[in-house]
Amino acid sequence: MQVLASPNLTLAFALELATLAAFAYFGFRVTDHAIIRWVLAIGLPVLLSLVLFLLAALALYRSGQPGLAVATGVSVVLHVALGFAWSQW
């Protein structure tokens, strides 16, 4: 069974990328307005990943791990801030 562990992790990563791509595609196709298309195509996946990471921090907090929750939340905020500062979004 250990032989299947790495391919399964690869599949999980591919599914995460496909999920983000699906939201980007949806954002691009939901309207005919050119600017809104691009804002949604970029913004929906970014918003989804941000919400997912912040929900992970909340789950850690509610599970009695406030230190890990704060570390996760601070890491997410720092990552997003640096991504904007360095034009990586």
Within 4-48, strands assigned E span none
Name the residue range of residue 70's domain.
2-85
Number of domain units in the chain: 1
pLDDT reading at 37 higher than 80 = yes
pLDDT beyond 80 at 2: no
Tell me what the mean pLDDT of segment 25-31 comes to: 95
Question: Is residue 66 scored above 90 in pLDDT?
Answer: yes
Res. 29 pLDDT band, cuts 50 70 90? very high
How far is residue 36 from each of residues 8, 46, 73, 84, measured CA to CA in Å? 36, 15, 29, 19
pTM of the model: 0.70
